[in-house]
Amino acid sequence: MKKDIMAIGLAAVLVSACNSSEKKADGGNGDNPFLSEYSTPFGVPPFDKIKIEHYKPAFLQGVKEGNRDVEAIVTQTEEPTFENTIVAFDQAGRLLTKVLTTFSAEMGANTNDEMDALAMELSPVLSEYSDKIAMNPALFARVKTVYEKRAGLNLDKEQTKLVEETYKGFVRGGANLSADDQAKLSDLNSQLSLLQLTFSQNMLKETNAFQLIIDNEADLSGLTEAQIANASEDAKNAGLDGKWLFTLKNPSIMPFLQNSDKRDLREKIFKGYIMRGNNNNENDNKEIVKQLVTLRLEKAKLMGYEDYAAFVLEERMAKNENKVYALLDEVWAPALKATSKELDDINAEIKKEGSSFTAEGWDWRYYFEKAKKTKFDIDENQVRPYLELGNVRDGAFYVANHLYGITFTPIKNIPLPHPEAQAFECKDKDGSLLGVLYMDFFPRASKNGGAWCGGYRDQSYENGKRVAPVVTIVCNFTPPAPGEPALLSVDEAETLFHEFGHGLHALFHDVHYAGVSEVPTDFVELPSQIMEHWVMEPEVLKVYAKHYKTGEIIPTELIEKLDKAGKYGQGFATTEYVAASYLDMDYHVLKDLPVNKEQLNLDVVNFEANTLGKRGLPSQIPPRYRSTYFAHTMGGGYTAGYYSYLWSEMLDADGFEAFKETGDIFNREVAAKFRKYVLTPGGIDDAMDMYKNFRGREPGTDPLLHNRGLK
Ligand SMILES: [Zn+2]
């Protein structure tokens, strides 16, 4: 997800400047790496030289320069033109962008208390900076002048879009509001960014705080050797030598829930997971959720919208909440039906082993694995040996090479964001540089959970030359057992292809202006999710899925089993996901609550229970994220936007059909179109137009439903 980046209110501050008048904040700027050109291979950040104390002075200098750039646009005597106003604004604040890009990426992958504190300190400065620009009347007047005469300016499509997006950005940033309302908006924005940041930091703290410590070998029953080895290693690192430690990070908890024979321990870790941010301690997020929802509604009203969803959705492909709910509703009923069948299978397994209880949340994954084994004679651990991490990564490279003719070569002697990261040079088929790709696979305490694709430098143009992007893929895969390579689950292999798809989107990116580089949130998962279609294709598996010990190619029989079992479990997966999407939407379509200085009268726990209860969510399935750890929506980034994965899936399922229809999943012509119309142009076109250019028509929902086995 760049996109799946969570937790970073700062990254949202794209174009911007505060007046934080330049008190001495430079601590010896002479050796601050941000303040000079990077003299590294490919111009990547000199990670080995960047120290935490470099960020703040570089930020403040960036703010100062950004203000100066804006001042220069406003005070010039020439009439506003595309170049002297729109382009100049697009290029304003370069240093700040440079620092922010690296800071945001590091906040996700290499954070610590000091970084957290710094983010907190800088957040209001940046939100003030960005508001001052958005509400600068002289600047807006110039932008408006160009906007109004754009039709007669002989601009190309990308330039026209830039003018329109810039103008719209100002309007949405409050440029048309009265001075009083602008002050209110500014205040709301800075409160919101602090709350989002606090939410995410609380979540990380709560995730790190929970420990399931096992000191009795019998309690490890059912776990795999790799799990046990990792838990022992984690315990050692936590000063619990000789014990086994399990945590709420994904590669620890999910396989535990899947494999542990100990029902009471499964219950313990499961409850730890779903109670994050809801423990009435100093990291509790309930009050923060309440405040966020209140202030967002207040902001929407101030901007003239009936609710917050309406404010954000007008920028998305879906356009309005009715379309979002229509898609969710279309999938919900068949998902519940599939879930109820899965639950029957699960309860049958419980009975089969002679137990008399009915399944609870902490039983689902465990008995589901057994049911899958019963039905399809397959289990996760048969497949892992064929999914060695390096092989899966090379499989992703292979697919990209066969679709687009591009190559990935390891780079030696280049600064790495972390010693565990790997670096690759990505070249186009003609040998020209597309960009640098970092990959950083394993969990650590300084890393946020989940997986995402971000960047240390966005693609841009300088003096007419394309500046190649520096892209990073960050995951939390199951670490290898000591002395063994890392073996992935099917889910993890899909995640690798997913993030790699975002990576390709960033690497192919070729736009001239930052202001038109972004695509809508509900389009952004198309490039990533479409890549997931290749990972389990027999033709592709036969290339990369080799047994890590023997080198044997994955047997056809196992591929067939995988294929048959592939759709099993989609009831659960769809249900937990759509439940979270409803939750996200329901918070942000609230309209009628009293919006004044008082807090909304919102009880987060009850609200969540009502939203899910009225739609019939089975008690065994919590939503994929509950309110108090739903960083996508509460931390920002995917607010009223968690539905985007499903929306994008409608596109990717339909889009992959374009390959299938030709009888060749590597059809170069289709791939060339996909690259040209979807992966390259950033946001210079309307998203639906981009899709139609590629596919020749609008997408339908049938492939999505078939894909999930729901039709
Ligand atoms: Zn994604």
- Write down the pLDDT at residue 449: 81
Q: What is the structure's pLDDT at 3?
A: 32
CA 577 – ligand 1 centroid, Å: 14
* Conformational region of residue 308, where left means phi above 0, alpha means psi within -120 to 50, and beta covers everything else: alpha
Residue type, 202: N
Sorted by sequence, the CB contacts under 8 Å of residue 424 that are 6+ apart come out as 408, 409, 410, 411, 436, 437, 438, 439
pLDDT confidence band for 594 (50 / 70 / 90):
low
Angle at alpha carbon of residue 176, lines to 174 and 292, rounded to 5°: 25
Q: From ligand 1's centre to the CA of 279, what distance in Å? A: 30
- Give me the helices (H) in 43-174, please: 52-75, 88-90, 94-109, 113-134, 137-148, 157-172
CA of 119 to the centre of ligand 1 (A): 24
Q: Which helix (H) or strand (E) holds 645?
A: helix 644-661
Q: CA-CA distance, 314 to 305, in Å (whole number)?
A: 10
Residue 121 CA, ligand 1 centroid: distance in Å: 29
As a whole number, mean pLDDT of residues 626-652 equals: 95
Q: How far is the CA of 88 from the centre of ligand 1 (A)?
A: 32
Mean predicted confidence (pLDDT) in 456-483: 93
Q: What pLDDT is recorded for position 479? A: 87
Percent of the chain scored above 70 by pLDDT?
A: 95
Residue 506 C-alpha to ligand 1 middle, in angstroms?
12
Ligand 1 centroid–CA 212 distance in Å is 30
Beta carbons within 8 Å of 246's beta carbon, 6+ residues apart? 211, 212, 213, 214, 231, 234, 252, 253, 256, 269
What is the pairing mode between strands 407-410 and 465-467?
unpaired
The reply to whether the predicted model has a pTM over 0.85 is yes
CA contacts within 13 A on the Cβ side of 81? 7
How many angstroms does the Cα of residue 241 sit away from the middle of ligand 1? 37
CA–centroid distance, residue 650 to ligand 1 (Å): 14
Going from the Cα of 219 to the center of ligand 1, the distance in angstroms, rounded, reads 36
pLDDT at 693 over 90: yes
pLDDT at 600: 60
Confidence of residue 566 (pLDDT cuts 50, 70, 90): confident
Task: Give the pLDDT of residue 11.
Answer: 32
What pLDDT, on a 0 to 100 scale, did the predictor assign at position 593? 66
Give distance in angstroms: CA of 56 to centre of ligand 1. 30
Please give the pLDDT value at position 124.
87
Q: What mean pLDDT do residues 388-403 have?
A: 98
> Of 338, 326, 373, whose CA–CA distance to 561 is shortest?
373
User: pLDDT for 327-345, tens place per residue?
Assistant: 999 999 999 999 999 999 9
Strands of the sheet with 433-440, listed across from one edge: 407-410, 422-427, 433-440, 470-474, 452-457
pLDDT, tens only, 86-143: 999 999 999 999 999 999 999 989 989 999 899 989 988 998 899 899 989 999 999 9
The angle that helices 321-352 and 570-588 make with each other, rounded to 10 degrees, is 140
Judged against a pLDDT cut of 50, whether residue 23 lies above it is answered with no
Pair 667, 659: CB distance under 8 Å: yes
Dig out the tokens for 203 from the structure. Answer: 């979540």
List, in order, residues 6 or more apart from 586 with CB less than 8 Å away: 607, 611
Q: Would you call 380 a catalytic residue per the annotation?
A: no
Torsion of CA 588, 591, 596, 597, to 10 degrees: -20
CA of 221 to the centre of ligand 1 (A): 35
Per-residue pLDDT reduced to its tens digit, 657-691: 999 999 999 999 999 999 999 999 999 999 999 99
Residue 309 CA to ligand 1 centre (angstroms): 21
The pLDDT, as a whole number, for residue 21 is: 30
pLDDT at 145 over 70: yes
Catalytic-labelled residue, pool 342, 349, 499, 608 = 499
AA identity, residue 677: Y
Distance from residue 555's CA to the centre of ligand 1 (Å): 30
Q: How much distance in Å is there from the Cα of 438 to the middle of ligand 1?
A: 16
Cα(4) to ligand 1 centroid in Å equals: 5
Domains defined along the chain, listed by start: 3-134+136-172 (1.10.1370.40), 210-274 (no CATH), 385-548 (1.10.1370.40)
- In degrees, to the nearest 5, what angle opens at C-alpha 328 toward C-alphas 647 and 591? 105
CA of 3 to the centre of ligand 1 (A): 6
Distance 418 CA to ligand 1 centre (A): 22
Q: Please give the pLDDT value at position 47.
A: 96
Residue 573 pLDDT > 50, yes or no? yes
Q: Tell me, what's the pLDDT at 250?
A: 81
Question: What does the pLDDT average to over 44-55?
Answer: 96
DSSP H or E stretch at residue 245: strand 244-246
pLDDT digits over 249-304, tens only? 888 999 999 999 999 999 999 999 999 999 999 999 999 999 999 999 999 999 99
Q: What is the mean pLDDT of the chain?
A: 92
Separation of CA 146 and ligand 1 centre (Å): 36
Ligand 1 geometric centre to CA of 518 (Å):
14
